[in-house]
């Protein structure tokens, strides 16, 4: 229970949602699905893996927090499973593209600075 002074002060503060009270993953569509759909069992045959990943991606496609999930998986980076509608291999491609784009932007800034300087 809050101390009376704390409860009075809290009552005067505007209600600001606390992201820790409702993290993005609590709204994820996959919470109601079997976790095995998103992570490969050991020695899974290729055809079965592709079918499972497509099924997982269909769940992701209807997810209200798809982008948050994807960014989480890219920031971690998550090495396994389908996250944010992308497989681990697809996430590696996205990360490589981002690194390449960041390097190109840095090179362009350096060139611009050299020309201007």
Q: Is residue 63 part of a domain?
A: yes
Domain that holds residue 99: 29-114
Q: How far apart are CA 77 and CA 88, in angstroms?
A: 9
Q: Is there a domain that residue 3 lies in? A: no
Residue 12 labelled as part of a binding site? no
Q: What three-state secondary structure class fits 86?
A: strand
8 is a domain residue:
no
**78 within some domain:** yes
How many structural domains is the chain composed of?
1
Measured distance CA(31)–CA(65) in Å, rounded? 12
Q: Is 19 flagged in the annotation as binding?
A: no
Residue 106 lies in a domain: yes
pLDDT at residue 33 in the model: 73
Neighbouring residues of 69: CB distance < 8 A, sequence distance ≥ 6: 24, 25, 28, 60, 63, 83, 84, 85
Q: Judge whether 18 lies within some domain.
A: no
**φ and ψ at residue 42, rounded to 5 degrees:** -65, 145
Instruction: Please indicate if the annotation marks 60 as binding a ligand.
Output: yes
How many other CB atoms sit within 10 Å of the CB of residue 81?
Answer: 18
Instruction: Determine whether 40 is exposed, middle or buried from the number of CB atoms within 10 Å of its CB (0-12, 13-18, 19+).
Output: middle
Q: Is residue 56 part of a domain?
A: yes
Per-position pLDDT tens, the chain of length 117:
333 333 334 344 444 444 456 688 899 999 887 778 999 888 999 999 999 999 999 999 999 999 999 999 999 989 999 999 999 999 999 999 999 999 999 988 888 988 887
Residue 77 lies in a domain: yes
Is 63 annotated as contributing to ligand binding? yes
């Amino acid at each position: 229970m809050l101390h009376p002074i704390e409860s009075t002060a809290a009552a005067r503060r505007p209600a600001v949602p606390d992201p820790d009270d409702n993290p993005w993953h609590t709204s994820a569509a996959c919470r109601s699905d079997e976790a095995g759909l998103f992570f490969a069992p050991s020695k899974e045959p290729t055809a079965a893996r592709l079918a499972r990943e497509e099924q997982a991606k269909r769940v992701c496609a209807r997810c209200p927090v798809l982008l948050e999930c994807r960014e989480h998986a890219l920031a971690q980076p998550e090495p396994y499973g389908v996250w944010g509608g992308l497989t681990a291999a697809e996430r590696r491609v996205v990360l490589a593209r981002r690194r390449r784009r960041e390097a190109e932007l840095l090179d362009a800034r350096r060139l611009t600075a050299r020309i201007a300087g």
